[in-house]
Amino acid sequence: MRKRCVVCGKDASIVIDRARVAFCNEHFIEYYERMIKRTLNKNGFNGGKVVVAVSGGKDSMALMFALNKLKNELNIKLTALHIDLGINDYSKESRDIFEKEVKKLDIDYIVVKAEDYLGVSIPEAIKFVRKPACSVCGLVKRWIMNKIAYDMNYDYVATGHNLDDISTYFMKAMFTYRSDDLIRGNEVISPPKPDLKIVGRLRPQIFLTEKENLFYCIVNGVNYIDFECPLSEGALLKKYKRIWETALNINPMSQYNFTRSILSIREKFSRDEIKLTPCKICGFPTTASDRICSFCKLRIRIKERLNKQ
């Protein structure tokens, strides 16, 4: 049966299963932007200087577009950051799309190369370590995002983590008995800690799905890279993500409720503060007892391997 927009009664163009509602394009945009604002405001966001990290994919492109549109209402000064990871055609195309969109939208932006910080590109770096590509890449991106935002004196880095990502991350943490991953990180807002050289984090799409981010790009004419990173092949998180297909068939609210349950359960725990100290090499915080952060360890290892060649 043809669905109707829950607001105006016109033919619907998208159904949001978990909320059992359908929208036309216009009212979907209203719904999507209301979700972004509500997610931030309910978690105590008062505005500030925000670097939005944009890979070129649908999630971060949707986030950049929405934050730019809502910047006055949210009281933010926005700059977009793209990190060129050096992953062949995938990175070239991602960078092109990013640059075209920021110019079209007249957003301040920065492009940096991972290689300039790491010494080598991501595909080269993963040859030197026995770790999954995404784990090396994630570590490098987090360090660079924090460094750039900190050096620019920005308050927050906003990232395009969506409901599919966060719910799967929590699921994997449970299935692999990594309870620390369940308790820490992935908050909607992590406050800045300038004394520790930590820039705050915003995850405004935590309750929006990949499907909603994709549709937001389409209805707004936002371009995005529509092929997957070649290094994501075999990523464990991607495999776990498939489990949601079954769960969502049984209960369309399952993914949303699962994520909210974990976030609310951990609010009730009194969490021990993690002990952070400045890294001896880069000065950014680390939990390592030898006071050398994972990013600097990676740099050292790469240098050693390069010298041996």
**Is residue 133 close enough to count as binding ligand SF4 by CB under 6 A?**
yes
Tell which one of 134, 144, 158, 214 touches ligand SF4 (CB under 6 A).
134
Tell which one of 63, 67, 206, 229 touches ligand SF4 (CB under 6 A).
229
**Is residue 231 close enough to count as binding ligand SF4 by CB under 6 A?**
yes
**Is residue 121 close enough to count as binding ligand SF4 by CB under 6 A?**
no
Q: Is 2 exposed, middle or buried (0-12, 13-18, 19+ CB in 10 A)?
A: exposed
| Beta bridge partner(s), residue 190 | 201
Looking at residue 114, its amino acid is: A
Buried residues in 184-212 as b, exposed as e (16+ CB within 10 A): eebbbbbebeeeebbbbbbbbbbbbbbbb
Of the two residues 85 and 222, which places its CB atom closer to ligand SF4 in the complex? 85
Which region, judged by CB under 6 A, interacts with ligand SF4, from 67-75, 134-142, 165-173, 211-219? 134-142
x/- site string to ligand SF4, residues 57 to 86, per CB under 6 A? ----------------------------x-
Is there a contact between 102 and 116 (Cβ–Cβ < 8 Å)?
no
Tell which one of 142, 232, 263, 278 touches ligand SF4 (CB under 6 A).
232
**Is residue 8 close enough to count as binding Zn ion by CB under 5 A?**
yes
Instruction: Give dist(CA 166, CA 135) in Å, integer.
Output: 15
Instruction: Give dist(CA 262, CA 183) in Å, integer.
Output: 8
**Is residue 282 close enough to count as binding Zn ion by CB under 5 A?**
yes
Element (H, E) at 32: helix 25-42
Tell which one of 166, 279, 298, 302 touches Zn ion (CB under 5 A).
279
The residues of the shown chain that bind ligand SF4, judged by CB under 6 A, are 85, 133-134, 137-138, 229, 231-232
